[in-house]
Amino acid sequence: MSAAGTAPVPTPAGSSHAGNRRFVLARRVDGLPRTDDFRLETAPRPLPGEGQVLVRNRFISVDPGTRGRLGDRETYAQPLALGEVIQAATVGTVETSANPRFKPGDWVAGAFGWQEWGLSDGRGLRVVPSNGLPPSTAIGVLGIPGLTAYFGLLDVGALKAGETLLVTSAAGAVGSAAGQIGRIEGARVVGVAGGPAKCDWLTRDLGFAAAIDYRAQSDLGAALAAACPEGIDVLFDNVGNAMIDAVLPLMKRGGRIVVCGQMADYNRPAHEAVGLKNTRAFIGQRLTMRGLVAFDYVRQYPTAWERMTQWITEGRLAYREDIIDGFESLPQAFIGLFTGENFGRRVVRLA
Ligand SMILES: NC(=O)c1ccc[n+]([C@@H]2O[C@H](COP(=O)([O-])OP(=O)(O)OC[C@H]3O[C@@H](n4cnc5c(N)ncnc54)[C@H](OP(=O)(O)O)[C@@H]3O)[C@@H](O)[C@H]2O)c1
């Protein structure tokens, strides 16, 4: 799969086009991303060669993890180069194909990033299964967010029936899947989310035992203790160090902390990093804390897809999509993740 075309020209937002519009990194991001960190360009629409597939992107993801690649520090992935197309998961339709695995009109999931067209030799591209679900779910509940929840909880968290699971950013794409998988596995599940609408959804629609609106708490530790009177066996954390520190005193013996994401920390400069203070709990309660990268489980994706699709079909795993229309919306849709604007898996739909 490749970023398509050459010889870009700057494109005024909203202009009509006959090429391939794409957003590239305009400068290194410092703090909360801004729309002018990204530059809209138009490149020629790519021409497929022998064995290649041309894909028209229909849905493009915005992912918090992308923030880690916009600065100059290496995380688990290299920083993007200035001028490089912003990386993201995509779902689209095959426009033309010279590859026997794909035919025109097929819905395909790939990773073409923030651009209208993608060119591929077939590697990294898969036909979206006809499972009765909207194609966008291939980059949502059945994409990296859902897979992260599945492996983070069941492998890293090693959740067992009867345990108490606390999930943070619980109304988000990863968090809502993790909490529901926890329920399916027989855990008592408590969520932390921002605002009453998200908390109501967790308890009324998803069956969480309790949900804490962290923004409304003057004493988060007390609210967590009230919602988890017997303590917490597994913390599935999407938020960061201050959150983990607040939860540490409540962890039970042998507890596991899954470090999945760091929403509250991604935009902090290194010198303002928040540390953990309540680490004594690691000794007394024999705790473990482990991070994950979903891509490490790629060989096991088919099992997860099968199980999760079945749970969705049976009505046991619900998902929510937050669809924003218009290619030009990509930067603002991404930035909104860091203020809690999204409610569910945020994707941008192209006309
Ligand atoms: N390790 C992996 O392989 C992997 C893979 C995918 C995603 N992730 C991580 O998983 C986490 C969730 O990703 P997602 O795609 O499902 O996003 P998401 O949870 O759907 O969206 C982000 C949410 O984070 C919350 N948030 C934003 N700023 C916050 C802050 N300062 N403090 C607390 N919460 C804040 C907001 O919800 P509220 O309104 O509830 O605050 C916002 O809606 C991210 O940290 C992401 O990087 C990890």
Residue 287: closest CA among 262, 317, 334, 254 = 254
For atom 18 of ligand 1, the residue with the nearest CA is: 172
Query: What is the C-alpha to C-alpha distance for residues 162 and 189, in angstroms, rounded to an integer?
Result: 10
Max Cα separation, the chain?
A: 64
Probe residue for ligand 1, chosen from 190, 238, 295 as the CB with the greatest number of ligand atoms within 8 Å: 238
Residues 6+ apart with CB under 8 A from 69: 75, 77, 78, 79, 80, 87
For atom 41 of ligand 1, the residue with the nearest CA is: 194
Angle (nearest 5°) at CA 243 between 179 and 257: 55
* CB neighbours of residue 76 within 10 Å: 12
Probe residue for ligand 1, chosen from 263, 293, 337 as the CB with the greatest number of ligand atoms within 8 Å: 263
Residues 327/350, Cβ–Cβ less than 8 Å: yes
Query: What is the C-alpha to C-alpha distance for residues 251 and 199, in angstroms, rounded to an integer?
Result: 22
Sheet harboring 38-43: ordered strands across?
9-10, 38-43, 20-25
For atom 45 of ligand 1, the residue with the nearest CA is: 261
What phi and psi, each to the nearest 5 degrees, are found at residue 346? -90, 125
What structural domains does the chain harbor?
A: 9-140+319-349 (3.90.180.10), 144-295 (3.40.50.720)
Q: Could you tell me the distance, in angstroms and rounded to a whole number, from the CA of residue 298 to the centre of ligand 1? A: 21
What phi and psi, each to the nearest 5 degrees, are found at residue 70? -95, -15
Q: What is the pLDDT of residue 18?
A: 66
Q: Could you tell me the distance, in angstroms and rounded to a whole number, from the CA of residue 308 to the centre of ligand 1? A: 21
- In our burial notation (b when 16+ CB lie closer than 10 A, e otherwise), range 203-241 reads eeebebbbbbbbeeeeebeebbbebbeebbbbbbbbbbb
CA distances from 298 to 64, 143, 148 (A): 20, 11, 11
Q: Could you tell me the distance, in angstroms and rounded to a whole number, from the CA of residue 94 to the centre of ligand 1? A: 31
Q: Could you tell me the distance, in angstroms and rounded to a whole number, from the CA of residue 261 to the centre of ligand 1? A: 7
Query: What is the C-alpha to C-alpha distance for residues 224 and 217, in angstroms, rounded to an integer?
Result: 10
Q: Phi-psi category of 132—alpha, beta or left, where left has phi over 0 and alpha has psi -120 to 50?
A: left
Instruction: Write out the E strands in the chain.
Output: 9-10, 20-25, 38-43, 53-61, 90-97, 107-110, 117-120, 126-127, 164-168, 188-193, 210-213, 232-237, 251-259, 288-291, 321-325, 345-349
Q: Phi-psi category of 193—alpha, beta or left, where left has phi over 0 and alpha has psi -120 to 50?
A: beta
Query: What is the C-alpha to C-alpha distance for residues 261 and 291, in angstroms, rounded to an integer?
Result: 9
Written as tens digits, the pLDDT of the chain (351 aa) is 333 333 454 554 443 346 999 999 999 999 999 999 999 999 999 999 999 999 999 999 999 999 999 998 777 788 999 999 999 999 999 999 999 999 999 999 999 999 999 999 999 999 999 999 999 999 999 999 999 999 999 999 999 999 999 999 999 999 999 999 999 999 999 999 999 999 999 999 999 999 999 999 999 999 999 999 999 999 999 999 999 999 999 999 999 999 999 999 999 988 999 999 999 999 999 999 999 999 999 999 999 999 999 999 999 999 999 999 999 999 999 999 999 999 999 999 998
Please list every protein residue whose CB sits less than 6 Å from any atom of ligand 1: 63-65, 144-145, 148, 169, 171-175, 193-195, 198, 238-239, 260-264, 292-294, 337-338, 340, 342
For atom 32 of ligand 1, the residue with the nearest CA is: 264
Q: What is the pLDDT of residue 322?
A: 98
